[in-house]
């Protein structure tokens, strides 16, 4: 029924009023402005392929056009040539989508237009696993390829289920499928959910239901050890295979094979408490038997010892600290305000200190595995900084006359100390004597020494000898000087 003349007059008046309100001429109000970019293929609202899809159109005053489509994260850029542009896009998922084109002139945005488009389901993606003639376990997983965004119908021995296709793939788990031969069909469905676009059929055989038993028999649950390397052993049997997989705190660590129902493996555990699990699986990796125990690796206090200096030992101010340790753990040694850290190597550690103060001292060693895993050992010793008494010369008796071109000098000093003679210029003489257990020492004074002293002139003279004692800790006594008259021809 045609509108009356009065109604048409009112409609024209409404348009003119709107044009005046927005400052537009009647002609402008009656005809909306056309976007500078248009999509001509595919046509708006059409249905077509998502594979080898080409988007094309026109653009006025533009140098490039950027195309986006649906949930595709990509932006496809096309160059405008004689007002025409075209670009190829990646395969698109099935279903309704929107294609948009934006026009640019040297980076300046000019305009945008969009169209609705529906990607029809394509059967080229359809695939199905297991393969034809395969042998599977009673519980197995079916996988395959499909057109993203579509639906796949799986039919096993006449029983069907619908599976969504996501990221161009589908999967379905079948549980406790009876032993024997079976037929599985995968059908790629169109968007209407019923039309079959493509179909794949597989015939396969299901094996008996997998059965396995596994147990960790040693070490016992709740056990401890002083080192991370721990041997675990147990029993296992299965009608699938004899592989036992070991996990530490949920992370796969190693696999071993049970022989005659027995298995063993050495694991390197982290310091502190851990959970160790032994697992057996069916042929697709689904666990069918598991046993777990807890175990704690904690440093054994006896794994760190100090062997030098010995307890109560008397030392010099230079001290070598040595001991036993484990692995390559760091060992920190503290003594008299000094500290150093060394790495355990071949189960031993060494550290050298100098300038240690005299008197009682304690050396403390700390071996650390983690922030809260550490053991210590300590030894008390004494640093001797007391100088020995000066040596005493008993022969020749001081004050007597030396008449020979060499003679033997003897006397007493602290037992075990070294007695040294100094040349007239103050340099230690090469001939050094160690006092015996009774403190007796003997030094030969030769012609070379007397020559340097200037007393081999045949005339009367004076010879002064200077000596000092040095104990086993390097402490030097005060000097002893003795004087002789000389008349050596």
Q: What average pLDDT does the segment 174-185 reach?
A: 93
The per-residue pLDDT for range 276-290, each reduced to its tens digit, is 999 999 877 889 999
Instruction: State what percent of residues in the chain have pLDDT above 70.
Output: 93
- The pLDDT, as a whole number, for residue 7 is 34
Do residues 118 and 191 make contact, with C-beta atoms less than 8 angstroms apart?
yes
- Identify the residue whose tokens are 């003489």: 429
The per-residue pLDDT for range 195-210, each reduced to its tens digit, is 999 999 999 999 888 8
CATH number 1.10.3430 given to 236-297: no
Residue 244 has pLDDT above 70, yes or no: yes
- The pLDDT, as a whole number, for residue 429 is 87
- The pLDDT, as a whole number, for residue 22 is 41
Do residues 455 and 480 make contact, with C-beta atoms less than 8 angstroms apart?
no
Q: Are strands 46-48 and 108-119 parallel, antiparallel or unpaired?
A: parallel
The per-residue pLDDT for range 374-400, each reduced to its tens digit, is 999 999 999 999 999 999 999 999 999
Report residue 32's pLDDT band, with 50, 70 and 90 as the boundaries. low
- The pLDDT, as a whole number, for residue 11 is 40
Q: What CATH topology corresponds to 392-487? A: Immunoglobulin-like (2.60.40)
Token digits of residue 33? 């402005």
3-state helix, strand, coil in the chain (%, to 5): 5, 55, 40
What is the per-residue DSSP string for 173-240? EE-SPPSEEEEEEEEEE-TTSSSEEEEEEEEEEEPPPP-EEEEEEESPTTEEESSSEEEEEEEEEESS
Report residue 162's pLDDT band, with 50, 70 and 90 as the boundaries. very high
- The pLDDT, as a whole number, for residue 204 is 96
- CA separation for the pair 22, 209 (Å, rounded): 78
Mean pLDDT across the chain? 92
Class of domain 123-206 as given by CATH: mainly beta
Would the CA dihedral through 183, 184, 189, 193 be positive or negative? positive
Cis peptide bond N-terminal to 250, omega within 30: no
Residue 329 has pLDDT above 60, yes or no: yes
Q: What average pLDDT does the segment 344-350 reach?
A: 97
CATH number 3.30.70.260 given to 37-119: no
Closest CA to 126 of 183, 170, 96, 89: 170
Do residues 14 and 30 make contact, with C-beta atoms less than 8 angstroms apart?
no
Residue 9 has pLDDT above 80, yes or no: no
Report residue 352's pLDDT band, with 50, 70 and 90 as the boundaries. very high
- The pLDDT, as a whole number, for residue 340 is 98
Q: Are strands 54-59 and 37-41 parallel, antiparallel or unpaired?
A: antiparallel
Residue 338 has pLDDT above 60, yes or no: yes
- CA separation for the pair 296, 221 (Å, rounded): 10
Residue 17 has pLDDT above 70, yes or no: no
Q: What average pLDDT does the segment 327-353 reach?
A: 97
Report residue 20's pLDDT band, with 50, 70 and 90 as the boundaries. very low
Task: Please state which of the ranges 64-68, 76-80, 132-136, 388-392 shows the lowest mean pLDDT.
Answer: 132-136
Residue 111 has pLDDT above 70, yes or no: yes
Residue 476 has pLDDT above 80, yes or no: yes
Number of neighbours of residue 159 by Cβ within 10 angstroms: 8
| Size (the chain), residues | 489
Report residue 23's pLDDT band, with 50, 70 and 90 as the boundaries. very low
E-assigned strands of 243-358?
243-248, 251-257, 262-268, 272-281, 287-297, 305-308, 314-315, 319-324, 330-335, 338-343, 348-353
Homologous superfamily of 301-383: Immunoglobulins (2.60.40.10)
314 beta partners: 382
- The pLDDT, as a whole number, for residue 31 is 56
């Amino acid at each position: 029924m045609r509108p009356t003349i009065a109604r048409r007059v009112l409609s024209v008046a409404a348009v003119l009023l709107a044009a005046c309100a927005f400052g537009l001429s009647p002609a402008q109000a009656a005809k909306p402005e056309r976007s500078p970019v248009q999509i001509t293929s595919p046509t708006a609202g059409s249905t077509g392929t998502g594979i080898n899809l080409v988007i094309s159109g026109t653009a006025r005053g533009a140098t490039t056009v950027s195309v986006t489509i649906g949930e595709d994260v990509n932006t496809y850029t096309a160059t405008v040539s004689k007002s025409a542009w075209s670009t190829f896009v990646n395969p698109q998922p099935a279903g309704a989508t929107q294609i948009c084109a934006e026009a640019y002139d040297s980076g300046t945005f000019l305009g945008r237009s969009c169209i609705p488009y529906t990607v029809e389901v394509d059967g080229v993606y359809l695939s199905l696993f297991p393969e034809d003639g395969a042998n599977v376990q009673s519980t197995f997983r079916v996988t395959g390829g499909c057109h993203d965004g579509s639906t796949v119908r799986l039919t096993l021995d006449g029983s069907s289920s619908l599976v969504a296709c996501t990221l161009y793939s589908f999967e379905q788990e079948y549980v406790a499928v009876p032993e024997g031969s079976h037929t599985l069909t995968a059908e790629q469905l169109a968007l209407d959910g019923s039309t079959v676009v493509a179909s794949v059929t597989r015939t396969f055989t299901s094996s008996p239901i997998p059965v396995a038993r596994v147990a960790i028999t040693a070490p016992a649950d709740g056990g401890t050890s002083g080192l991370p390397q721990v041997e675990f052993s147990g029993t296992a049997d299965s009608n699938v295979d004899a592989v036992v997989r070991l996990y530490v705190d949920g992370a796969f660590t190693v696999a071993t094979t049970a022989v005659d129902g027995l298995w063993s493996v050495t694991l390197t555990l982290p310091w502190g408490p851990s959970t160790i699990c032994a697992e057996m699986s069916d042929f697709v990796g689904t666990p069918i038997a598991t046993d777990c125990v807890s175990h704690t690796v904690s440093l054994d206090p006896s794994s760190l010892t100090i062997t030098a200096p010995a307890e109560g030992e008397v030392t010099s101010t230079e001290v070598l600290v040595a001991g036993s340790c484990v692995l390559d753990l760091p060992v920190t040694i503290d003594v008299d305000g000094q500290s150093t850290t060394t790495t355990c190597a071949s189960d031993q550690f060494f550290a050298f200190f100098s300038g240690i103060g005299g008197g009682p001292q304690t050396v403390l060693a700390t071996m650390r595995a983690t922030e809260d895993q550490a053991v210590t050992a300590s030894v008390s010793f004494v640093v001797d900084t007391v100088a020995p008494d000066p040596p005493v010369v008993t022969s020749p008796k001081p004050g007597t006359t030396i008449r020979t071109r060499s003679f033997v000098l003897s006397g007493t000093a602290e037992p075990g100390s070294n007695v040294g003679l100094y040349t007239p210029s103050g340099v230690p003489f090469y001939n050094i004597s160690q006092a015996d257990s009774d403190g007796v020492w003997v030094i030969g004074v030769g012609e070379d020494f007397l020559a340097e002293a200037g007393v081999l002139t045949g005339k009367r003279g004076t010879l002064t000898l200077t000596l000092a004692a040095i104990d086993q800790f390097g402490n030097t006594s005060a000097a002893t000087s003795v004087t002789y008259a000389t008349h050596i021809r």
